[in-house]
Amino acid sequence: MSRFHIALSYMLVALVLVIIMAEPPARTWYLAFLLALFFTVTIVGVFCPRLSFFLPIFSRGRAGRGRVALTFDDGPDPEATPAALAVLDRLQAPAAFFLIGEKARAHPDLVKRIVQGGHLVGNHSFSHFWWMNFLFGRRLLKEIMYAQAAIGAIIGRPPALYRPPVGLTNPHLNGALKKAGLTCVGFDVRLWDRGADPEKVLTRLFERTRDGSIILLHDGGADPSYLASLLERVIRSLPALGFKIVRLDELAERPAYQGATPALNQPDAAPPSDRRPGLIRRLAAIPFIRQAIEERADLSVFKDPPSLRLLAGVLLIGLGMLMGLPAVSGLGIMAVYLRDPLVFVFGGPASYAASWAVWGLGMWLAGPDNIMYLRSLLRWAARITVERLAGAAPPSGRPGPDPSL
């Protein structure tokens, strides 16, 4: 049982006890406090993988051996990764590269070079889109398995280690990783190295590195010269601190790879030809769908983080919904507890009117981005619908569904 399930069990027991034993209006405040506490703890668990809140996460090796491990996320990068490999090879330092499956498929020779250099490669999801932590069930498992297939097809065996994008976890990840046969790996030293002042990065290294630490760096999207210079200083500093750099699987004392992996499906088929019969021909003739097919519409817009305007709009929309019927219902219950109908008579309409105002402001803020996302989703859905009806392969050059799914 995970810590999340333990916390959930305690919270449910506490809620039942409060409902049975507490008297109104204190009962309402106790219930609100318990729910707020549970949601706060859950959010902390999402953002702090070292807590192993939702599943066991290996974030630090055993102490007493003077060893640390270097890890890189978000590659392979055609410019930054070779620069990092050159430094690692020259200084004879092993490292682990957690690869995005989509990038691995685009740069297979670079993946092979990583492995041939004696380094380890791990699974870092197939797409690494910002909202991946909201996935669950089959969709989350497929995202993980697509990366397994992409990496395994290049090096001949799939990884045994997985690092979630941005280090975020959720209650569904444990089940997906068990089905995929993967161990979740975190870190305990995050250097925040993306374009940061090298001196500040090294200060964080000196202050946070301990015996058994897993150090997180980024090669994906990094400036090659900056990364090479910083990495050399990091590697030279660690022995001076009394630490030996070892490969992650040695530090973790567990295998780096699984057995053989099935090959990926063939690349995308071309858009259906003019010989498409009946329904397919009529659908493809619709201007909106025809344009989506011709432009190979995809979901790349979802890979970029949402704008602050959209986030603010969504937050206000949710707040407006909470201020609507739930608030009115709560005021009705409170009026019964307090035996004061005026609480409901005056508070209800005011809360409902305010909720519409907040909801409307949220829709105004989020509207333009919502339309963009909705249009992209509809274009992509229209394209893959026609292509699948015509017997085309899955969209965007992704590997087909694993037969076991």
Please name the residue that has the structure tokens 């989350």.
140
Q: Distance between terminal CA atoms of the chain?
A: 25
Task: Report how far residue 185's alpha carbon sits from residue 164's, in angstroms, rounded to the nearest whole number.
Answer: 8
Q: Which two tokens stand for residue 202?
A: 């090294």
Looking at the DSSP assignment, which residues form a beta bridge with residue 214?
A: 69
Instruction: Specify whether the CB–CB gap between 204 and 192 falls below 8 A.
Output: yes
Concatenated DSSP letters of 94-146: --EEEE-HHHHHH-HHHHHHHHHTT-EEEE--SS--TTGGG--HHHHHHHHHH
73 is annotated as an active-site residue: yes
CA distance 171 to 173: 6
**Pick from 359, 357, 360, 349: which is nearest to 327 by CA?**
349
Catalytic residue among 73, 188, 219, 249: 73
Q: Which residues contact 154 (CB under 8 A, 6 or more apart)?
A: 104, 105, 108, 111, 112
Does the active-site annotation cover 218?
Answer: yes
Q: What is the rounded radius of gyration, in angstroms, for the C-alpha atoms of the chain?
A: 26
Q: Which of 74, 193, 218, 249 is catalytic?
A: 218
Catalytic residues: 73, 218
